[in-house]
């Protein structure tokens, strides 16, 4: 497996575009006539009709784009050819939300000559504000006209909100002697957005993945659901599950491999590539958490079951007190044990070991459920780095899992204190 460039456009047949249409006007216009606004709308399309799979937020409040996308996939038999996505407005909790989300799809369908159900839609931004459709009507012809196999970055920046960097990743791998690509915004290519309001439950933020691997819709859904559980669902920035979370993958089949229609070695190879893409995007999302100064990665090993390992690792990463301790570079390991202790899983706390690790070294802070002597000076050096690993060994089995998050800083409060402005 090899990492490659191209993001969402890495896989054969996929092209993208992005532009600024003015969905949300800035509070104060920049007086510089040469100022370039960040893209706020994008389009990803494929040359062929794709088998498609998706997972969505489990929040009871769901954005209108999710309702429309689910309806379109049901009508099309889980096939799609394009997806339009915007930032700056979530189109959620609006009386005309579904109407406007469907309108976005219809605009693209009319411009590209497609049935509307072959177009999916996603939105991210402020909840509860009416989505202005006029700028989108104006932008769609430009988006379609400017579709290009090399415009992955234009699309990736268009879905950013409080993100400070775009998130893209892609790989290529061999299957049946064919080179497959997979990427996101097998090749597998992908792009993602997310910085705050991230505590996924069967989805996360906005994530779009493309692949040219030939794989049935059923196997694609199985692979996506399985890998989401151990990647995106193991991410927590602030404990809030968004209303608009969506992960979507489209498979063009243009790699030319024998179609994957059942479990077996070929599906395992595909899932390994998909895990690589999604795990790397998850890590990027965690590192770019709102106001974050440190990436936190908790590895729980020695667990009796995979689910136990996931629950414990997520419990540590999701602890507000622990996040604060990491921001303060305080080796307050008791907060790790506290989070492990309230995790809803069965294990013996008296067998648990905990260590803190970074490029500056490793400090063991707990063995057999009790604290051990350690150098505060060495611990301070470890925690001064910007990527911290929390190593939890339950010593009660062979399963392991990783969860990702970030510290909780003053800047997080500042960002969310005036998010709408």
What's the Cα-to-Cα distance from 209 to each of 44, 299, 337, rounded to whole Å?
10, 26, 37
How many angstroms separate the CA atoms of 109 and 118, rounded?
A: 8
- Distance between start and end Cα atoms, the chain: 44
How many angstroms separate the CA atoms of 79 and 49, rounded?
A: 7
How many angstroms separate the CA atoms of 46 and 266, rounded?
A: 23
Torsion of CA 345, 221, 228, 191, to 10 degrees: -170
Ramachandran area for residue 56 (φ above 0: left; ψ -120 to 50: alpha; else beta): beta
Query: Buried b / exposed e across 7-37, counting CB within 10 Å, b at 16+?
Result: bbbbbbbbbbbbbbbbbbeeeeeeeeeeeee
Catalytic, out of 19, 92, 204, 269: 204
How many angstroms separate the CA atoms of 350 and 367, rounded?
A: 8
Do residues 224 and 266 make contact, with C-beta atoms less than 8 angstroms apart? no
Instruction: Point out which residues pair with 306 in neighbouring strands.
Output: none
Ramachandran area for residue 77 (φ above 0: left; ψ -120 to 50: alpha; else beta): left
**What is the torsional sign of CA 343, 347, 349, 354?**
negative
Ramachandran area for residue 46 (φ above 0: left; ψ -120 to 50: alpha; else beta): beta
In terms of DSSP H, where are the helices of 330-409?
334-341, 376-383
Quick check: is 261 catalytic? no
Catalytic sites, residue numbers: 204
């Amino acid at each position: 497996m090899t990492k490659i460039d191209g993001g969402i456009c890495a896989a054969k047949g996929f092209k993208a575009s992005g532009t600024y249409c003015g969905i949300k006007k800035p509070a104060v216009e920049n007086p510089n006539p040469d100022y370039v606004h960040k893209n706020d709308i994008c389009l990803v399309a494929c040359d062929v009709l794709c088998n498609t799979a998706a997972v969505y937020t489990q929040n009871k409040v769901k954005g209108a784009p999710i309702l429309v996308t689910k309806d379109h996939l049901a009508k099309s038999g889980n096939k799609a050819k394009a997806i339009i996505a915007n930032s700056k407005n979530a189109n959620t909790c609006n009386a005309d939300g579904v109407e406007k989300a469907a309108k976005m799809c219809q605009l693209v369908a009319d411009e590209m000559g497609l049935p509307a159900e072959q177009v999916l839609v996603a939105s991210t931004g402020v909840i509860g504000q009416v989505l202005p459709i006029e700028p989108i009507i104006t932008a769609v012809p430009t988006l379609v006209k400017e579709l290009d196999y090399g415009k992955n970055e234009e699309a990736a920046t268009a879905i950013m909100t409080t993100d400070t960097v775009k998130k893209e990743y892609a790989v290529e791998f061999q299957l049946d002697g064919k080179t497959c690509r997979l990427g996101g915004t097998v090749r597998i290519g992908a792009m993602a957005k997310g910085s705050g309001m991230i505590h996924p439950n069967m989805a996360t933020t906005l994530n779009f993945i493309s692949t040219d691997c030939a794989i049935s819709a059923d196997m694609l859904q199985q692979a996506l659901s399985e890998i989401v559980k151990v990647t995106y669902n193991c991410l927590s920035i602030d404990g809030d599950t968004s209303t608009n979370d969506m992960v979507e993958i489209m498979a063009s089949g243009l790699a030319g491999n024998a179609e994957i229609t059942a479990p077996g070695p070929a599906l395992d190879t595909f899932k390994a590539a998909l895990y690589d893409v999604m795990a790397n995007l998850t890590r990027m999302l965690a590192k770019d958490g709102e106001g974050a100064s440190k990436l936190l990665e908790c590895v729980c090993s020695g667990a009796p079951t995979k689910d136990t390992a996931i629950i414990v690792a997520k419990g540590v990463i999701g602890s507000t007190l622990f996040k604060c301790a990491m921001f303060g570079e305080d080796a307050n390991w008791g907060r790790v044990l506290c989070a492990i202790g309230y995790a809803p899983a069965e294990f013996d706390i008296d067998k648990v070991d905990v260590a803190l690790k970074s490029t500056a070294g490793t400090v063991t802070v707990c063995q057999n459920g009790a604290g051990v002597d350690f150098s505060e000076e060495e611990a301070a050096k470890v925690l001064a780095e910007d990527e911290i690993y929390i190593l939890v060994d339950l010593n009660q089995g062979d399963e392991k899992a990783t969860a990702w998050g970030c510290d909780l800083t003053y800047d997080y409060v500042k960002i969310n204190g005036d998010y709408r402005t």
